[in-house]
Amino acid sequence: MKKTILMSAMIVAGAAFAAPTIAEVVNNSMEISFQEEKTQVKPDELPDPVKQTISGDETLKEFPVAEAWQIKSVEGEVTFKVAFDNGTADKLWKTYDPQGKEIKE
């Protein structure tokens, strides 16, 4: 009887070691981030529609353009971000599309 139990235990143990193992599936995801392209431009190099919108805006007449940036998004859209010197440490920023339309953020 002892031999039968011992043999049964050995067979079960052998079967456990010989059982196929299932490999773990590892999903390594890679994150790719794209950044927008920013290029500083001189205020007089802004497109004419943008300059016309700025000159026609009564709220900006007293503020000179401090700096201007051309921003090209990942999708290829171009916008112009313009900073106005309003006499404080924080500049007044406005964004325009190439046709001169202000983009509200």
- Mean pLDDT over the full length of the chain: 82
Element (H, E) at 56: helix 48-56
Q: Which residues are CB-contacts of 47 (< 8 A; sequence separation ≥ 6)? A: 80, 98, 100
0.85 surpassed by pTM: no
- 10-37 pLDDT, tens digit per residue, is 666 665 565 555 656 666 666 666 678 9
Q: Are 39 and 69 in contact (CB under 8 A)?
A: yes
What pLDDT does 51 receive?
Answer: 94
- 34-82 pLDDT, tens digit per residue, is 678 999 999 999 999 999 999 999 989 889 999 999 999 888 899 999 9
What pLDDT does 74 receive?
Answer: 86
What pLDDT does 13 receive?
Answer: 62
What pLDDT does 16 receive?
Answer: 58
What pLDDT does 78 receive?
Answer: 94
Q: Are 36 and 72 in contact (CB under 8 A)?
A: yes
